[in-house]
Structure 1
Amino acid sequence: MKKYHANELTDEDFPEDKGKPIKKRKAKKVPKLKPTITPFRGILICESEPEELKQQQYKQYRMKKFVL
């Protein structure tokens, strides 16, 4: 393959007719999430509870999380 300098190239060296159009790739289908049997592992605290009880429940949750 011969190499050309940029000054030697002309518009004739670059044909506009590209032939076949480029096919776009199809997106992969994402599998649907299956329902799990495992329970929610977060912490559920009602907002109507007093602040001291919320703090206590949160501390218990944190302790259980580190023990497991």
Structure 2
Amino acid sequence: MTSRPGDSDPSDSTAENQPLVCARCGTRSEDPQPTWTCSMEHGTRHYLCDTCARENLRAIEGRLDPAWW
């Protein structure tokens, strides 16, 4: 079973009503996308669309700081 963004964080009840926005290119999606990537940066969730995630896969897996890539 897949959970929507915000389901595991009860303090963020508005997350379900807000569209996902890619942290790199700004692509928006109203529904959760199984091909998008979610990462935690300094305690904040950041989402990457499938295109940006593919383009930066090595940096993501290497846990490089997003400012670097």
TM-score, structure 1 as length reference? 0.20
Structure with larger Rg: 1
**Higher helix residue share:** 1
**TM superposition score normalised by structure 2:** 0.20
Name the structure with the higher strand share: 2
